[in-house]
Amino acid sequence: MRLGLCVLLCTGTLGLCLAVPEKTIRWCVVSDHEATKCSSFSDNMKKVLPADGPSVSCVMRTSYPECIKDISANKIDAVTIDGALAAEAGLPHYNLKPIMAEYYGLKDDPQPYFYAVALVKKGTGFQLNQLQGKKSCHAGLGWSAGWYTPLSILLPSASLETAAATFFSSSCAPCADGKTFPSLCQLCAGKGTDKCACSSSEPYFGYSGAFKCLQDGAGDVSFVRHLTVFEALPQKADRDQYELLCTDNTRRPVDEYKQCHLARVPSHAVVARSVDGKEDLIEELLRVAQEHFGNDQSSAFQLFGSPHGKDLLFTDAAHGFLRVPPKMDINLYLGYEHFSNIKNLKRVSTHGSERLGSKCVDAPLEGYYVVAVVKKSDVGITWNSLRGKKSCHTAVGTSAGWIVPLGLIYNQTGSCKFDEFFSHSCAPGSNPNSRLCALCAGGDNPAHMCAANSHEGYHGSSGALRCLVEKGDVAFMKHPTVLQNTDGKNPESWAKGLKQEDFELLCLDGTRKPVTEAQSCHLARVPNHAVFSRKDKVDFARRMLFNQQELFGRNGFERMMFQMFGSSAKDLLFSDDTECLSNLQNKTTYETYLGPQYLTMMTSFRQCLSSDLLDACTFHRH
């Protein structure tokens, strides 16, 4: 078989060499049987297509995720995959798009979707809510109808592999890690290294394989497409030996799948690169292919079927292809609900694709450094010579721009009269008629002068740096600010031409250091900005924010549509320099989050703070 496969693939490679490369579609195959069908597909298409193409060459890979990776790398051009794998293919680092969708049903009423069902043998007596401890058959780890859809209904939001391995007594879930989760491969029928394999080398792989697992008596329940049973058992009398488990914990005949299913799932799709993806060639190839080799078109070669195995290259149950609209990405193709469901479940899964941003989301909360920045050209300014200087602050009441630097000054002077310590300042949120607002730039409206929001041009860390550049002697801010606004990183007119070496940090020992040495030259280390909520809303807010971050965060799937951590003005809703929203671990109260050092600083400085909100919040503690 291996020799025959080599001949097939070498022949395909020779065909690729002889064909016009720009018109050759490199199709990914993941098994020997699929390679055999692909070779036949290529040969038969040469008979009905022009000599100059398009043509097909077949490229072997070990799994669909490997196909996705190599399509993105322009080593392959196309593959047909399940919706859950399509969600993976649409991630930013792959950026593939759906080109053609399989449809089922009649040509006059094409259905680019199928129903995910839970199939059992008739008379076995249990319902959907009684599956714990049963033996399960899955099409494959990470498949829509065979994995994500049923497990999202049955299992809590934990690692799906871990939860499935303990929920079911044993399973066959091809593609699972048999060493880490042996029970997920226990029922599989493959021999040696083929056991639990992610291809048809495992007899129970795919939807037809998952049905065979149930049919053979290996499993008690099989998670498949509704089409699977009709393909395997065209006679109603044979189908009547099986039943569907419904979400209302009843059973129905197999033919009543529209009233009894777990979810409606988008059909398998042909995916390709979003840029230079050969989509027109792929459409032409498949249009001609279904005209000549679709259902009942040819006995020499069948596009939707093969004597070598089930669902090779395309789904056997498909009746044709529909062109996916050019502007439709994988998110839109799958639909928001199904796409979000897959991504949420992938996010809590420990096997398969790496959780997006997990290192950031679960990273320890290290906080940031508060620094005092001066212009390198002002050589005479040190921490000990700030009295009488012009100061720039992020805003009144903020850690970096107010509490930390003025708390340290208060500890030295014992006075809260900061408008007398500095000659002039911009401290947004202060009395507009005071010297603490004398340096402020304001905005389009005079009422915006010294406002504690983005209407004030010198508000926030970037605003404080701008204040320093244009008017001030010293600015108090978060340590990344200078690096984020110099050397061409900020296109605004005030930042053009700025270099990081134009600035230095003031150290508490009276020395100065480059802005890159904040770790050894800072005023304090303080906690990051945090999202606060009422106790009864915490879980909802956390889920909502993490879900939105998946879509609109730094690596979000829809970050080109909207960006959580950036906008036309600075630090709106979240800080612009936020990498991601992170779990709080065990720091879920403000005391544990802020820590004793910061709380002590706040307590000693509190008499210099005027806060109606603080008075209201502490009223009942008296």
Rounded Cα–Cα distance for residues 324 and 370 (Å)? 52
Beta bridge partners of 80: 270
SS3 state of residue 375: strand
Q: Is 82 annotated as a binding residue?
A: yes
165 annotated ligand binder: no
368 is annotated as contributing to ligand binding:
yes
Rounded CA gap, 126 and 446, in Å?
72
- CA 393-397-401 angle, 5° bins: 25
Q: Is 294 annotated as a binding residue?
A: no
Q: Is 206 annotated as a binding residue?
A: no
Token output for 124: 């076995």
- Pick from 71, 60, 41, 615: nearest CA to 330: 71
User: 453-489: b or e for each residue (b if 16 or more CB lie within 10 Å)?
Assistant: ebbbbbbbbbbbbbbbbebbbbbbbbbbbbebbbeee
Q: Tokens 């089930």 map to which residue?
A: 310
- Please give the structure tokens belonging to residue 418: 């900061």
Please tell me whether 394 is known to bind a ligand.
yes
In sequence order, what are the beta bridge partners of 369? 525
Give one DSSP letter per residue of 72-94, joined into a string: HTTS--BEEE-HHHHHHHTSTTT
CA-to-CA dists, residue 570 to 37, 481, 564, 574, 579, angstroms: 57, 12, 12, 9, 15
The residues near 186 (Cβ < 8 Å, ≥ 6 apart) are: 170, 171, 172
The DSSP H or E segment spanning 232 is helix 226-232
261 is in an annotated binding site: no
Confirm whether residue 146 is marked as ligand binding: yes
How many residues does this entry show for the chain? 622
Nearest to 175 by CA among 5, 349, 46: 349
Measured CA to CA, the distance from residue 173 to residue 218 in angstroms comes to 12
> What distance in Å separates the CA atoms of residue 336 and residue 330, rounded to the nearest whole number?
10
Terminal C-alpha separation, the chain:
84
- Please give the Cα distance from 454 to 429 (Å, whole number): 11
Q: Which residue has the tokens 């480059």?
A: 514
Kind of pairing, strands 170-172 and 135-138? parallel
CA distance 84 to 205: 16
Q: If we measure between CA atoms, which residue out of 127, 159, 118 comes closest to residue 141?
A: 159
Q: Which residues does residue 272 pair with via DSSP β-bridges, in sequence order? A: 97
From the annotation, which residues make up the binding site? 82, 145-146, 207, 268, 368, 394, 400-401, 529
Binding-site entries for Fe(3+): 82, 207, 268, 368, 529
What are the binding residues for hydrogencarbonate?
A: 145-146, 394, 400-401
